[in-house]
Amino acid sequence: MDESIVVGIDIGTTKVCTLVARIEGERNLRILGVGIAPSQGIRKGNIIDLAAASQAIARSVEKAQRTSGLEITSALVSLAGSHVSSVNSRGVVGISGRVIDQYDVDRALESAQAVAIPHNREIIHVIQRGFTVDGQDGIRMPVGMHGYRLEVEAHIITAAAATVENLRQCVQAAGVQVSQFVLNPLASAEVVLTETERQMGCVVVDIGGGTTDMAIYIDGDVWHTMVIAIGGNLVTSDIAQGLRLPISQAEEVKKEHAFAVESAISADDVFTTRPFGEDQPIQFSRKDLAMITEARLEEIFTFVMQEIKRSGYDGLLPAGMILTGGSSLIPGIKDLASRVMNMPTRVARPENLIGLVDQLNSPAYSTSVGLLYWAMFLNETAPKTHRKPGPQINVNWDTIKNIFKNLLP
């Protein structure tokens, strides 16, 4: 495919979204193809039915190919799930007083990867956070500097190798090669964060159907990432049980009538729907629905707050929380989040898109669009994810045989 064409496949619990875009001018993306299909065989970021998941991905890819007129051979693919974990590591290498080049930076990052990672886990991202040259810290990029000792702070994100391989197999079954996996909140951050928020310190929280994905940014870099295995589907499930509705109907009720703050709803406000066992639609109080919604969302934000405190960075986030993902569309969620988290909150969505963007101006597509931005930055700069292959050694066996012949009597 043309180098200026980028493709992202966002595989979520609720939907699979394939986007094809062309890079135009300076960091502009024109959306050429959109393929959205209901997700199947995936729960909380994990594959539970390989065949069903492959078919859902294939349908999404086929729609994107049809609308763009391009054949999709490789793509960046989103990754989430409770199997994802992260650790901060430090790598140190000697320089001998000469000028630091990219090879030294690569060696330092490789040194940072020398942490004890179980054999059943795979490194997804190694993200450089900052460098120290001869004790001077806070250096953004040391290439071109003189020094004797180079240190790098790196954020290493790993995932269960079997889960990653299952996801790769599903995408390949749809006829597409995975060029790289990208963690959901890192993709979302590419489109929803401002440079000021990255520098000041903030947390991106992407509430999807099956998972709530979060990434803490401080001084412009990722400091902590986490995936919590609950999401908007739990709100739907509670509504289904509380009002005795089928799940599909509960999802519609959530989208049309739910509100995140019970006290903001009048006791006279009602809506009609038909629960199990009833011949005719009956009236329900929106206040009761808001009570169910508020309780579950409050629980999600409490988990997020606990994770931020556990990371130790809760006092370093003056820019607050940036909410995105499909569940952030519930009215009133911003006020609830601000109250529970006790920090500034805004709901963010992809902006400044051109091309086929009718559906994409929604928080539900932040990860999908973010994958395209991630692919664009990989095209124009050294990748944020450092996965350097081992040294390539070409062995000339004839030469080795001749050497041994000369040594033998």
CATH of residue 271's domain is 3.30.420.40
Can you tell me whether residue 51 is helix, strand or coil?
Answer: helix
Q: CA–CA separation, 332 vs 326, rounded Å?
A: 14
Between 26 and 218, the higher pLDDT residue: 218
* Within a domain: 335: yes
pLDDT surpasses 90 at 119:
no
287 domain-assigned: yes
The predicted structure's pLDDT at residue 16: 96
- Same domain, yes or no: 199 and 327: yes
**pLDDT band (50, 70, 90) for residue 386:** very low
CA distance 168 to 50: 11
CATH number, domain with residue 95: 3.30.1490.110
Task: With H, G, I as helix, E, B as strand and everything else as coil, classify residue 39.
Answer: coil
Same domain, 204 and 309: yes
**Number of C-beta neighbours around residue 46 at 10 A:** 21
Residues 293 and 205 in one domain: yes
Are 187 and 370 in contact, with CB atoms under 8 Å apart? yes
The pLDDT value given to residue 382: 43
If asked whether residues 225 and 328 sit together in one domain, one would say yes
Which residues lie across from 43 on neighbouring strands?
A: 46
- Give kind and range of the element (H or E) at residue 250: helix 247-257
Report the distance separating Cα 216 and Cα 214, nearest Å.
Answer: 7
Whether residue 250 sits in one domain with residue 125: no
Do both 297 and 249 map to the same domain?
yes
Do the domain assignments include residue 221?
yes
Q: Please state the rounded mean pLDDT for residues 131-137.
A: 92
Answer yes or no: is 59 within a domain: no
Domain boundary among 137, 157, 177: 157
Least confident of 139-143, 236-240, 308-312, 405-409: 405-409
Number of CB atoms found within 10 A of residue 397's CB: 7
400 domain-assigned: no
Same domain, 232 and 337: yes
Instruction: Say if residue 140 is in the same domain as residue 201.
Output: no
Model's pTM, two decimal places?
A: 0.87
Quote the number of domains for the chain: 2
What's the pLDDT score for residue 97? 78
User: What is the mean pLDDT of the segment spanning 36-53?
Assistant: 93
Q: Do 268 and 214 share a structural domain?
A: yes
Tell me, yes or no, whether 38 lies in a domain.
no
Give the β-pairing of 345-347 and 321-324: parallel
pLDDT, one tens digit per residue, over 71-104 is: 999 999 999 998 999 999 999 999 987 899 999 9
Q: Is residue 29 part of a domain?
A: no
**Confidence at residue 381, expressed as pLDDT on a 0 to 100 scale:** 63
The answer to whether 273 and 244 have CB atoms below 8 angstroms apart is: no
Q: Given a cut of 50, is residue 146 above it in pLDDT?
A: yes
Q: Do 198 and 343 sit in the same domain of this protein?
A: yes
Cross-strand pairs, 188: none
Please name which of 120, 50, 126 lies closest in space to residue 83, comparing C-alpha atoms: 120
Same domain, 200 and 149: no
Calculate the CA 334 to chain-centre distance.
21
Identify the pLDDT of residue 98: 87
Q: Where a domain ends, among 322, 347, 372? A: 347
Q: Judge if 239 and 290 occupy the same domain.
A: yes
> End of a domain among 331, 347, 363?
347
In a domain, 56, yes or no: no
For residue 26, the tally of other CB atoms under 10 A from its CB is: 6
SS3 of 404, please? helix
C-alpha closest to that of 111 among 130, 134, 94, 129: 94
For residue 280, the enclosing domain spans: 194-347
Do residues 222 and 155 touch, judged by C-beta distance below 8 A?
yes
